[in-house]
Chain A
Amino acid sequence: MDIIATATNGASGVVSGRLPEEDCRRNFCEMHSPLEPNAARVEAERCYFCFDAPCIEACPTEIDIPGFIRMMSNHNPVGAAGLIFQENIMGGTCARACPVETLCEHACVRNQPDDRPVSIGLLQRYAVDQAMDQPASFFTRGAPSGKSVAVVGAGPAGLACAHRLAVLGHSVCIYEHRPKSGGLNEYGLAAYKMLDNFAQKEAQFITSIGGIEIEHGKRFGRDFDLRDLHRRHDAVFLSMGLGLTRTLGIPGEEAVGVEDAVDFISTLRQADQLSSLALGKRIVVIGGGMTAIDIAVQARLLGAEEVTIVYRGGPQKMKASIEEQEFAKIRGVIIRFWGQPICVQHEDGRVTGIEFSSTDRTLQADRADNFTIEADTVFRAIGQMPRLPDDDAGSFTLQDGRFVVDKERRTSQVGVWAGGDCIADGEDLTVSAVQDGKLAAISIDQYLSKSKAGES
């Protein structure tokens, strides 16, 4: 990925067209180039096919990684994809967006002798891409059970749950308030991770099994509530993600130019013309997670001149891995640690800068001065909260506003399961959401077959 930000339009303030469209497109090329066939075979050969492989354990969906790599090395990429889909129907997105350096590749035993793990993510992508390019039927819908399940939200958890339920013969109705399926795969992941409309292709691939109906434009709490779902369906899976962005809670936050990172990314992901996006010249991002990295890097790729991430802790504490931090730095993002925002500065209602207090306790008191960064845009990337209808919120056991679930992803309410970002202790990863959906579907199936037995 080359950055052509040098040709940027240096106009101050928030303007569109910082880079010509073709430069934007070039900047938003593939984050990691897919493997060529020969490179894939050579890389597959590096796998030691460990016994009880640590990479499987490190994968939230427990994909049989050595198993699929063995199939790949034996010229059977479609079989490999089948093995991946068995555990993770979103193997395609996960191959693109998973922080593999903290998951499967982190566990790879080749880190020790070679200092370089097997490129599991790229191999998975190779296998899945080959399979999705050709019509191969990996799953067939089970015999109709006569049961209907409501799924709220067509994101990774919802789609994964719906798919598994369809495999098991149940009918699924997904209620999705946005016009497209895919959830954060479509609206939230960085654009350079999900090129070529992949989220839609994948959603299409998943729902092609049949028995899954998606009603778009239906928002939980506005257009329907839990009672409606119980009335119409035999079980409910809640996977509506998070709706409310946390605020900084500091003076001046209401100024024009203070925005939610997720909103900007969502707009970016849906933009036909990247150059048409209005973008600041000097941008400050508050936060330390993947969203902070994603917005900062994308702002640079769109032509923002100075992008600074300010995080209240140090590099090790940052939720974004060291690799992701490096990825951002190489693309010209400045990362400043140990800063807590205390005040947004503004003139005529527009942001002009943001002041921070130092949180570095190792510094002498007299050196731990406040500092200010000039900015025309401040992006909040400090996490989100679920948006639960007031009527329903009281009927669940919640923790920090999120559903508390058991191992099978059952909520405290009988007949209601939950997964994805809206559950407590959620990992904020596509791959974890897929696992939630899968486990919930298996549990729902057991529940439904028991209730069926009870009826007869």
Chain B
Amino acid sequence: MPELKTTFAGIESPNPFWLASAPPTDKAYNVNRAFEAGWGGVVWKTLGEDGPPIVNVNGPRYAALHGKDRSVIGFNNIELITDRPLQINLEEIAQVKKDWPDRGLVVSLMVPCTEEAWKAVLTRVEDTGADGVELNFGCPHGMSERGMGAAVGQVPEYVEMVTAWCKDFSELPVIVKLTPNVTSIRPPACAAQRGGADAVSLINTISSVMSVDLDSFSVTPTIDRNGTHGGYCGPAVKPIALHMVSDIARDPDCAGLPISAIGGISNWRDAAEFILLGAGNVQVCTAAMTHGFKIIDDMVDGLARYLDDRQIESVEQAIGKAVPSLTDWQHLNLNYTAKAQIDQNLCIQCGRCHIACEDASHQAISATQNGSRHYEVIEKECVGCNLCVTVCPIEDCLTLRILDNEIDQRTNQMIRADDKLNWTAHPNNPMAAPGK
């Protein structure tokens, strides 16, 4: 079987699956259970500076966007960093690392933006024997009002400055956790690299208002008739996280910066996608919170089989394999022509493709033939948009067929696979390079 063991930012772990800094990693009890279940590493829930412990709300701190079958599609929280005394956390971290020397143990940190504060906490973390630190510049709620978390992550100069302090004060690998609540993820990522970060991790949660209670006119989760914005995560944020991870992976300005991917990773397939888009390992939270630690079995087994089936010998070898596929719109081949096709043997005649195309697209699927229900693609109208494929409830019933050596019925143009044309050279583009 392929090698799942990874070395990320110099930190070894038996597999690339870490638990993200969050409630499942707040105590030795949970972390021990996670390691017993087989997790490769954890990022301990964020520690703050020494002093009176953080106070959390005592009402609901989580809320979810549910599917109709009550599956958790999106999840948000208004919980703050650990509310346990610093000393207890540090003692537990030291003990856990001693008990599980082969696992990755990284400590997440968030203290006020002063050199003294960071220096003080880093010294004490180093004493635990932990493998590294993760700087929490991501949480968008609560702590950001106090000038920490996302308030730092949204200012590249601060990101660089604090990262540099941490590299100065500590020998430990420094992972910078980025907030997605920015216009572009590239400036904070590059800032982290300039500050000397060994890696970045992303995404932290997205600012969100989960829902409104239609009876009480209050936002949820509701604390005594009020609510506040929280941090959004879970399967729903995965596409956003994929975009941001890949944006960093293909940015020449931060080339080679290791990425620990976070954001809606629920199974091995999600993990594989992030790795292919440039992640060196992955961090999981919501899936573990909603299903427990045992999901690691499927993740490890599924990823190993996937790599094995493709003769990829290690996670290392898979990293970034899909990055070259990502480009700007202007470089897409505009001669590439697809047409929808319906497998009539699989079609159950629900007509969803027809109504979607009829009302929202190009009127390219007919609904009847000789007066009875029958759905057929009208090739001279079809633009290959994929809407019908998306709404078809039967897998592989509606697919796209790629034209080659064939006339496109819609445009009457001959389509050849090797005849490529993108926007930079397109005749309709006034900026097109002449002669191209």
Which of chain B's residues 358-399 have a Cβ closer than 8 Å to chain A? 367, 373, 393-394
- A45 B351 Cβ-Cβ under 8 A: no
Known: A51-B351, A112-B348, A113-B348. A41 touches B373 (CB 8 A): no
- A51 B350 Cβ-Cβ under 8 A: yes
- B351 A42 Cβ-Cβ under 8 A: no
27 contacts between A and B (CB under 8 A): A38-B70, A41-B68, A41-B69, A42-B68, A44-B68, A45-B67, A45-B69, A48-B350, A48-B352, A48-B393, A50-B349, A50-B350, A51-B350, A51-B354, A51-B367, A52-B351, A52-B367, A52-B373, A53-B351, A54-B349, A54-B373, A73-B68, A109-B350, A110-B348, A112-B348, A113-B348, A113-B393
- A residues near B68, Cβ cutoff 8 Å: 41-42, 44-45, 73
Interface status of A49 (Cβ within 8 A of chain B): yes
- B348 A109 Cβ-Cβ under 8 A: yes
- The chain B residue with its CB closest to the CB of A41 is B68
How far, in whole Å, are A45 and B393 apart by their CA atoms in the complex? 12
Interface size, chain B (Cβ < 8 Å): 15
How far, in whole Å, are A52 and B373 apart by their CA atoms in the complex? 9
Which of chain A's residues 90-121 have a Cβ closer than 8 Å to chain B? 109-110, 112-113
A6 CB, nearest partner CB in chain B, Å: 40
A45-B67, A109-B348 are known contacts; what are 6 more A-B pairs with Cβ within 8 Å? A48-B350, A50-B349, A50-B351, A51-B352, A52-B373, A110-B348
How far, in whole Å, are A52 and B68 apart by their CA atoms in the complex? 24
Q: What total of A-B pairs shows CB separation below 8 Å?
A: 38
- B residues near A53, Cβ cutoff 8 Å: 351
- A109 B70 Cβ-Cβ under 8 A: no
How far, in whole Å, are A42 and B70 apart by their CA atoms in the complex? 8
Which of chain A's residues 33-81 have a Cβ closer than 8 Å to chain B? 38, 41-42, 44-45, 48-54, 73
How far, in whole Å, are A191 and B352 apart by their CA atoms in the complex? 40
How far, in whole Å, are A112 and B349 apart by their CA atoms in the complex? 10
Top-3 shortest CB links A-B: A51-B351, A45-B68, A51-B355
- B residues near A112, Cβ cutoff 8 Å: 348
- The chain A residue with its CB closest to the CB of B394 is A113
How far, in whole Å, are A316 and B350 apart by their CA atoms in the complex? 28
- A residues near B350, Cβ cutoff 8 Å: 48, 50-51, 109
How far, in whole Å, are A53 and B349 apart by their CA atoms in the complex? 9
- The chain B residue with its CB closest to the CB of A42 is B69
- A109 B349 Cβ-Cβ under 8 A: yes
- The chain B residue with its CB closest to the CB of A44 is B68
B183 CB, nearest partner CB in chain A, Å: 35
- A residues near B349, Cβ cutoff 8 Å: 50, 54, 109
- The chain B residue with its CB closest to the CB of A75 is B214
How far, in whole Å, are A42 and B68 apart by their CA atoms in the complex? 6
Which of chain B's residues 45-75 have a Cβ closer than 8 Å to chain A? 67-70
